[in-house]
Structure 1
Amino acid sequence: EEKARLFTEVDSLVYCKDAIGASFNPADRQKGLFKNAVQLIAWSRVGEADLVIRSEEQTQQKTLISAVSQSKNIQISIPFSDRISIDNAITCWCVLLLKGYDHEFIEQRMLLLEAVDMRMQLKKAVNNCYLLNDSYSNDTASLELALDFLLQQAGKNKTTLILSDILQSGEPPEELYPAIVQQLAKRGVSRLIGIGSAITTQQTVLTNNAADIQIDCYDSTQTFLQTASLNQFRDEYILLKGARVFSFERISQWLEQKVHQTVMEVNLTAMAHNLKAYQQFLAPSTRLMAMVKALSYGSGTAEVARILQFHKIDYLAVAYADEGVELRKAGISLPIMVMNVDEAGFDAMIQYNLEPEIYSFGIYNSFHQFLEKQAVSQYPIHIKFNTGMNRLGFEITEAEQLAEMINRQGTMAVKSVLSHLAASENTLLDHFTKVQVNRFKEAIAVVQRILGYPFLKHIANSAGIFRHPEYQFDMVRLGIGLYGVDSANEHQLSLQTVITLKSTIAQIREVPVGETVGYNRKGIVSRNSRIATVRIGYADGYSRSLGNGNGYMWLKNKKAPVIGNVCMDMTMIDVTDIPEAIEGDEVEVFGKQIPVQELASATGTIAYEIMTGISQRVKRIYVEE
């Protein structure tokens, strides 16, 4: 009611009946708050309203909303799938109907909507914790969405919610906070830390009604920071959800792991977008295996695996058994293929239900003997054939002998047969790609004939998915394309940037003409210059080959060239032509403005090497929009 008083003089009021609760009704009980002639427009999913939502059908990138207004069936399609964006779009729909816009016009304009940047950030925190900071809003609807993301990321790990008083909710505290605790209990949240006078008054009631949740309350953020200890937080995922007046940024800074100011930002929303972009090229029956080896191309294995599991892909692939073990410990339940198998990892594979890729008789025989000793039969494996990459894999001529051994010995069962395309992104080598596929078909025909049972077949990688759709077989393997890099450089996909490497300026100094910058006096100053020192060096993965003008960074919407040699922990850039630059400014090393492919080209390498070469001392921050 207090918030409604802000709108007492409006001529028209558009609202969602489901969101304001039964106790408040602008058309009846609270009608006297508004002008006599006010026009009320309500929408609802569950009851009578001016616009009644009948269905919401989500496809890969859109939501089709069907509704009834003035006894007419109408619908719109919007380029969103999250609930908050859908609710906002429906409210806009009501406004447009109120203003008398033609429905065809509304349908066209709704498709042009774009997402507003409201991001939840997942950061590494103290004592092996992760911190999800969602401080853009603090209401029950946004709390539900933030909890969904928290649990999606946490897997089986312990979870803690730090929640401030929810201001202007319209509900009395004795009803609001017990209802929230009930939601937390249903979702399996381990602990609630309440901050504020309202939630603190309910602590006894909340504790008595939620035996499975640890509940601690503090009357202010200051009291919490003075009383709490960092040792209270260990091996858990923490959600910060507070109204701005509570200054939760102080808690965020207190909990964050203290590392230097170079960070790699991993946009999980962009990753989900890229996944869907590739899925559009797949036949309905084609499965998808995501490559999360090498720390998911440097972006962080467990965090990426959780978002992929949430989007229901079919398989994950890692390079070594250790990586698969970490995923299992992080709560990942998807099937996991281990690509580089050795005897030291056999025990871990069995213990954590990992599926090895078998590529030689040596590995096959060793694993067979191990399984026999463990009395294990029909263990799932993946067979790799060499069709022209000449790296790993059985020769095509060995297919018959291998299949007969598998059948006869019975310790293993083939889940899939695969090979690797050497040049799927190169149009000049398409003829060789076809040669590889024909060799692959020859091998799988032999294996299929001898084994007599079905198995998955896959050879296509990121570039092969859309350049060679005829070679999808039963499954495809999506690697670097997931991270926003089109290895084919054909620009047929609307991929979004997933990884952004950023740092900050530590110092700016005036350097006169004729002076030099950096080791061995390599950076010669040809004019009076402003030189900025940035907190990143080759120990962070920024190559020394980018020194002396070969590389540049993005600052204040301009490129700033590197001057002098790249140092271990620092790099100098020339900001003479960027007079507004100041110490502490953020600098993009690569990302949306400087694509990682561009940086790779400057160093004479490939995007894979740049991404996987970023040091682990660089903090990873995970955002969802």
Structure 2
Amino acid sequence: MLMSDTRAWLEIDLSKISHNVKEIQKLLPSTSKIMAIVKANAYGHGDVACAKELSRCGIDFFGVSSVDEGISLREGGIREPILILGYTPPVHFHQVIQHDLIQTFLSLDYAKKANAWCKEHGVIMHGHVKVDTGMSRLGIITQQQDYRIEEVKEVYHLPHIAVDGIFSHFSVSDGLDEDNKAYTRKQIMLFDQVLKDLEDAGIDVGIRHLQNSYGILNYPDLKYDYVRPGLLFLGATSDDAIDTITHPDFQPIMQLKANISMVKTIQPGVCVSYGRHFTSERISRIATVSIGYADGYPRSVSNKGACALLHGKRVPIIGNICMDQMMLDVTDIKHVKEGDVVTLFGCDGDEKLPIDELTRLAQTINNETFCWMSARLPRIYK
């Protein structure tokens, strides 16, 4: 697909994934491997395309959120183990078996349902048990106030499921203040206590994994079997303004671009876009760009100083962002015309516009901004 073939698109440079994987590996003990999290369509980047490139980089385990996402990878040709990190309704247990997926056993009751279903159908379901060390989301509670280790043991002993691993999830591994560091250290201590109690009971716990992306960046020396990066191999963190203990040289792989559809000259005192939040103070050149909030560019950043790149320079986005279009003030840029390419985040010449700037204006995290990128935006892979 050529840039002139579409109005707006995402450019994704898969060649940078290898570099980012190596940057992650530099942080880890030699015994720790990477389980690449490609849920939510690899945070909008394209799950199958990214997983294939990750596989070429030697990644041998993937994580997704749902059975549908696991099936998408299987149908895309991914043959490595795939862990479903979330809930699969029992009515879809057959798909877990059919597509050779690994299910998270998120509670004792849920594991019993899986066990009963497997007994009825004469199959074995493989899975990892999740323990809740402080996130209070999914998992068997194993916190100081309520330590249900006997429930974890019971899951391992159910006869018609096979527990191949165990994991938990950090809630504040991105926080480097003393309170959050203490909370994370407590989660590590609780997870290690679970492992010890299981091993003391003669249970082979299987694969152990705990660190998410910020767990890798801030607690890289933990020696579990796998780590679970999501954004990191995509070249991003949740926000580059969040400080971390380590500072790898990640390279973002995604850029958002669109074409200019019209350029017009307006007089002083003319209003632009819905709501009349911008009124020209001089004779101005206004470029309309063929992208809007239906494509995932957040309307919430309207009139907050958001910029785009054009001809290697920053230009202001003016007025309210519309569903399918936005307007730029290009008065100070020469020779702007229909069909020119605008970069909404990424690079244009020597000028860079990181997604982090857009994310902070929208008062969210890059995880969400990436996921906003609409399915109607073609992904153009390099």
The correspondence for 2:276, drawn from 512, 521, 527, is 521
Query: Which residues in structure 2 correspond to 1:140-151 (within 5 Å)?
Result: none
1:354 aligned residue: 101
Please state how far the C-alpha of 1:447 moved relative to its aligned partner. 2.6
Q: Measured at CA, do residues 422 and 454 of structure 1 come closer, stay the same or move farther in structure 2, by a change above 3 Å? A: closer
Question: Contact 1:458–1:472 (CA<8 Å) still a contact in 2?
Answer: no
Deviations 1:269-327 (A, max 9, x none): 11111011101111121111000000000001111111111112121000110111111
Question: Contact 2:212–2:230 (CA<8 Å) still a contact in 1?
Answer: yes
Give me the whole-angstrom Cα distance separating, in 2, the residues matched to 1:404 and 1:383. Answer: 11
Please state how far the C-alpha of 1:262 moved relative to its aligned partner. 0.7
Deviations 1:66-118 (A, max 9, x none): xxxxxxxxxxxxxxxxxxxxxxxxxxxxxxxxxxxxxxxxxxxxxxxxxxxxx
**1:326 has 2:75 as partner:** no
Q: Measured at CA, do residues 609 and 383 of structure 1 come closer, stay the same or move farther in structure 2, by a change above 3 Å? A: same
1:265 aligned residue: 11
1:511 aligned residue: 266
**SS of equivalent residue, structure 1 residue 509:** strand
Question: Contact 1:290–1:317 (CA<8 Å) still a contact in 2?
Answer: yes
Larger radius of gyration: 1
> Which structure shows the higher helix fraction?
1
Q: Which amino acid aligns with 2:368?
A: E
Please state how far the C-alpha of 1:454 moved relative to its aligned partner. 4.5
Q: Which amino acid aligns with 2:69?
A: E
Question: Contact 2:37–2:63 (CA<8 Å) still a contact in 1?
Answer: yes
2:168 aligned residue: 419
Please state how far the C-alpha of 1:549 moved relative to its aligned partner. 4.2
**SS of equivalent residue, structure 1 residue 470:** coil
Q: Which amino acid aligns with 1:297?
A: Y
Question: Contact 2:319–2:327 (CA<8 Å) still a contact in 1?
Answer: yes
2:159 aligned residue: 410
**SS of equivalent residue, structure 1 residue 478:** coil
Q: Which amino acid aligns with 1:525?
A: S
Query: Which residues in structure 2 correspond to 1:54-73 (within 5 Å)?
Result: none
Question: Contact 1:502–1:588 (CA<8 Å) still a contact in 2?
Answer: yes
1:589 aligned residue: 344
Identity %: 33
Question: Contact 1:503–1:586 (CA<8 Å) still a contact in 2?
Answer: yes
Q: Which amino acid aligns with 2:156?
A: I
2:360 aligned residue: 601
Segments of 5+ residues of structure 1 without an aligned counterpart are 1-122, 124-252
Please state how far the C-alpha of 1:405 moved relative to its aligned partner. 4.3
- Number of aligned positions between the proteins: 367
1:618 aligned residue: 377
**SS of equivalent residue, structure 1 residue 548:** coil
**SS of equivalent residue, structure 1 residue 337:** strand
Indicate the RMSD between aligned Cα atoms, in angstroms. 1.8
1:216 aligned residue: none
Give me the whole-angstrom Cα distance separating, in 2, the residues matched to 1:502 and 1:448. Answer: 53
Query: What's the TM-score, normalizing by structure 2?
Result: 0.92
Please state how far the C-alpha of 1:420 moved relative to its aligned partner. 0.7
Question: Contact 2:32–2:227 (CA<8 Å) still a contact in 1?
Answer: yes
Bigger RCO of structures 1 and 2 (CA < 8 A, at least 6 apart): 2
Please state how far the C-alpha of 1:344 moved relative to its aligned partner. 3.2
Q: Which amino acid aligns with 1:344?
A: V
Question: Contact 1:318–1:338 (CA<8 Å) still a contact in 2?
Answer: yes
Q: Which amino acid aligns with 2:189?
A: N
Please state how far the C-alpha of 1:451 moved relative to its aligned partner. 5.1
Q: Measured at CA, do residues 526 and 383 of structure 1 come closer, stay the same or move farther in structure 2, by a change above 3 Å? A: same
Question: Contact 1:510–1:529 (CA<8 Å) still a contact in 2?
Answer: yes
**SS of equivalent residue, structure 1 residue 280:** helix
2:141 aligned residue: 395
Deviations 1:492-511 (A, max 9, x none): 11111111011111111101
Question: Contact 2:34–2:226 (CA<8 Å) still a contact in 1?
Answer: yes
Deviations 1:159-186 (A, max 9, x none): xxxxxxxxxxxxxxxxxxxxxxxxxxxx
**1:365 has 2:145 as partner:** no
Query: What's the TM-score, normalizing by structure 1?
Result: 0.57
Question: Contact 2:52–2:78 (CA<8 Å) still a contact in 1?
Answer: yes
**SS of equivalent residue, structure 1 residue 550:** coil
**SS of equivalent residue, structure 2 residue 249:** coil
Question: Contact 1:511–1:530 (CA<8 Å) still a contact in 2?
Answer: yes
Give me the whole-angstrom Cα distance separating, in 1, the residues matched to 2:148 and 2:326. Answer: 53
Query: Which residues in structure 2 correspond to 1:381-392 (within 5 Å)?
Result: 381-392=127-138
Deviating beyond 6 angstroms after TM superposition, the runs of 4 or more aligned structure 1 residues are none
Query: Which residues in structure 2 correspond to 1:267-306 (within 5 Å)?
Result: 267-306=13-52
Give me the whole-angstrom Cα distance separating, in 1, the residues matched to 2:108 and 2:127. Answer: 13
Please state how far the C-alpha of 1:489 moved relative to its aligned partner. 4.1
Give me the whole-angstrom Cα distance separating, in 2, the residues matched to 1:344 and 1:264. Answer: 36
The correspondence for 1:530, drawn from 278, 285, 310, is 285
Deviations 1:17-62 (A, max 9, x none): xxxxxxxxxxxxxxxxxxxxxxxxxxxxxxxxxxxxxxxxxxxxxx
Q: Which amino acid aligns with 2:355?
A: V
Question: Contact 1:549–1:561 (CA<8 Å) still a contact in 2?
Answer: no
Please state how far the C-alpha of 1:268 moved relative to its aligned partner. 0.7
Q: Which amino acid aligns with 1:611?
A: F
1:542 aligned residue: 297
**SS of equivalent residue, structure 1 residue 493:** coil
Question: Contact 2:111–2:155 (CA<8 Å) still a contact in 1?
Answer: no
Question: Contact 2:256–2:346 (CA<8 Å) still a contact in 1?
Answer: yes
Question: Contact 1:298–1:614 (CA<8 Å) still a contact in 2?
Answer: yes
The correspondence for 2:182, drawn from 431, 450, 459, is 431
